[in-house]
Chains A and B, each alone.
Chain A
Amino acid sequence: SAVISQKPSRDICQRGTSLTIQCQVDSQVTMMFWYRQQPGQSLTLIATANQGSEATYESGFVIDKFPISRPNLTFSTLTVSNMSPEDSSIYLCSAPSGGSDTQYFGPGTRLTVL
């Protein structure tokens, strides 16, 4: 299985600021995924990040609000821009394990916006 780490594990931020979340996978993967889990809710896919191309965003999510970088096959960042309290969520990155059908998840970043 893939081992996926995220930084930071949690943060408390002020309204109007931005936070960049880092995701590191222990093996090279073509696709990485970013999800949001709002309090008491299920997971919602924000975007799919392919190395060497722009991320593909799901309906309701835009690049200006959630810019994503994918500089190589093991790393990605998600930025939550101009934050508001409604952005308070757990953000998780995910990747399949080299050729596997299974997506594995990082431990998540718990974001609180005041």
Chain B
Amino acid sequence: AQSVAQPEDQVNVAEGNPLTVKCTYSVSGNPYLFWYVQYPNRGLQFLLKYITGDNLVKGSYGFEAEFNKSQTSFHLKKPSALVSDSALYFCAVRARSYYGNNRLAFGKGNQVVVIP
């Protein structure tokens, strides 16, 4: 079964500094990887995904993530954090198998706090 680890509970970063949110995964075969963001009292918003191709994927709001197959990681990054980036971030993975289902496995989530 697929699983995701987000090792940190909270990530604190000063506004304007680089932001990194870590994610490692476990899945049989090649993965589909996703990042979602949840603002207070809101649902999940899709940020970006890795399906195939270039290991560096770019998404919404200036975020990007790098797929590293050897380290089974998919860390989320932003070069310069904004106070408005303060939110809960979820990494998710599912297997690519055509015969599997589309069940997504989510990490526990990381609270990002951007300090003005």
Are A and B associated in one complex? Answer: yes
**What is the CA–CA distance of A107 and B39 in the complex, to the nearest angstrom?**
10
Interface size on B, residues (CB 8 A): 20
Contact partner of A42 among B41, B46, B51, B90, CB < 8 A? B90
Q: Say yes or no: B46 contacts A106, CB within 8 Å.
A: no
Is A104 positioned at the interface, with any CB of B under 8 Å from its CB? Answer: yes
Chain A residues within an 8 Å CB radius of B104: 33, 45, 103
Contact partner of B90 among A43, A45, A104, A108, CB < 8 A? A43
Enumerate A85-114 residues with CB–CB distance to B below 8 Å: 92, 96, 101-108, 110
Is B58 positioned at the interface, with any CB of A under 8 Å from its CB? Answer: no
Chain A residues within an 8 Å CB radius of B34: 102-103
Q: Say yes or no: B44 contacts A42, CB within 8 Å.
A: no
Given contacts A31-B102, A42-B90, A42-B108, contact A101 B43 (CB under 8 A): no
Q: Say yes or no: B42 contacts A48, CB within 8 Å.
A: no
Q: Say yes or no: B44 contacts A48, CB within 8 Å.
A: no
Contact partner of B46 among A6, A33, A41, A102, CB < 8 A? A102
Q: Say yes or no: B42 contacts A101, CB within 8 Å.
A: no
Q: Say yes or no: B101 contacts A48, CB within 8 Å.
A: yes
